[in-house]
Amino acid sequence: MAKARGDLVLLGASAAVWLGLPLVGRIPRRVQCLGRRTDRSSTALLQRRERTGLGALETVRGVLVSNISDTVVDLARWGGLTQGVCAMDAALAARLCTHAELTDAVDHLATGARGIRSARTATHLTDARSESPGESLSRVRMWQATLPRPDLQHETHIDDHTYRLDFLWPSTRVVGEFDGRIKYRKNSYGRNAEDTVLNERRRELAHHDIHPTGMRW
């Protein structure tokens, strides 16, 4: 693709796919790339977007793409808050960018740029401690429901074992755990589904006395 179109610069969801970032939600059918909206070339395959304030481009496997910070900011702008937060969390967790770089990328957007409010909200919500897109999605839903912001990956020590809780609201002693289907697939975390279920049950019983109110989803 890059050799066929040497000037092609991937943006948004297409850049995210090329960079290996998670995409949660709707995936555009056309390739998102830099260009003028009036450019009618290959419209069946390409969605050209005007984009001001881009930082330095990156060349990944021979293809020009927007950098990590610009890419995840554009996901929040064009794909919505959930898509943006999930990608930002993953980028921060992998140390592909810093929170300051995310904020800077938003600040370089033109005043009144489409989706800028969603991008700013995403930078406010993002957290490098999130360990999966499912946890990121959960936090967005909590924020939308105006729930208090939880502590993430809280460590608790019980009977010489250390457990990490996905979500903890210390003031109410409420625990939240995102399981997701991946934890129950065969060989997930090196265990089969039965071992995983039993381990999770032991874990739940162990911290029940300390945090009696728990929710799983």
Q: What is the pLDDT of residues 147-206, one digit of tens each?
A: 999 999 988 777 777 778 899 998 888 989 887 644 434 444 455 555 655 565 555 655
Domain-ending residue, one of 144, 175, 194:
144
Task: pLDDT band for 2, please (50, 70, 90 cuts).
Answer: very low
Q: Are residues 127 and 165 in the same domain?
A: no
Q: Are residues 108 and 32 in the same domain?
A: yes
Cβ count within 10 A of residue 118: 21
- How far, CA to CA in Å, does 79 sit from each of 28, 38, 201, 217? 9, 22, 37, 24
Q: Are residues 18 and 78 in the same domain?
A: yes
Residue range 92-110, pLDDT digits in tens: 999 999 999 999 999 999 9
Q: Residue 109 falls within a domain, yes or no?
A: yes
pTM metric for this prediction:
0.81
Q: Are residues 79 and 140 in the same domain?
A: yes
Q: Are residues 13 and 108 in the same domain?
A: yes
User: Dihedral of the CA atoms 215, 184, 158, 209 (nearest 10)?
Assistant: 30
Residue 191: left (phi > 0), alpha (psi -120 to 50), or beta? Answer: beta
Domain-ending residue, one of 97, 123, 144:
144
Model confidence at 22: pLDDT above 50: yes
Q: Residue 134 falls within a domain, yes or no?
A: yes
Percent of all residues in the chain with a pLDDT value above 70, rounded to a whole number? 78
User: Dihedral of the CA atoms 113, 66, 86, 188 (nearest 10)?
Assistant: 170
Sign (positive or negative) of CA dihedral 180, 185, 188, 192: positive
Model confidence at 77: pLDDT above 90: yes
Model confidence at 38: pLDDT above 70: no
Q: Are residues 68 and 164 in the same domain?
A: no
Model confidence at 14: pLDDT above 60: yes
Model confidence at 134: pLDDT above 80: yes
Cα 188 to Cα 179: distance, rounded to the nearest angstrom: 12
Cβ count within 10 A of residue 93: 16
- Stretch 124-132: mean pLDDT: 96
Residue written as tokens 């990944």?
Answer: 60
Q: Are residues 158 and 54 in the same domain?
A: no
Model confidence at 69: pLDDT above 90: yes
- How far, CA to CA in Å, does 115 sit from each of 109, 111, 211? 10, 11, 39
Q: Are residues 160 and 204 in the same domain?
A: yes
Task: pLDDT band for 210, please (50, 70, 90 cuts).
Answer: low
Structure tokens at 198: 């039993």
Structure tokens at 99: 């929170």
Structural domains counted in the chain: 2
Q: Residue 4 falls within a domain, yes or no?
A: no
Model confidence at 7: pLDDT above 90: no
Q: Are residues 126 and 71 in the same domain?
A: yes
Tell me the residue range of the domain where 168 lies: 151-216
Q: What is the pLDDT of residue 183?
A: 46
**Nearest Cα residue to 26 out of 86, 91, 66:** 86
DSSP assignment letter at 30: S
Q: What is the pLDDT of residue 216?
A: 83
Cα 88 to Cα 92: distance, rounded to the nearest angstrom: 6
Domain-ending residue, one of 144, 178, 199:
144
Q: Are residues 73 and 175 in the same domain?
A: no
Q: Residue 45 falls within a domain, yes or no?
A: yes
Cα 51 to Cα 141: distance, rounded to the nearest angstrom: 29
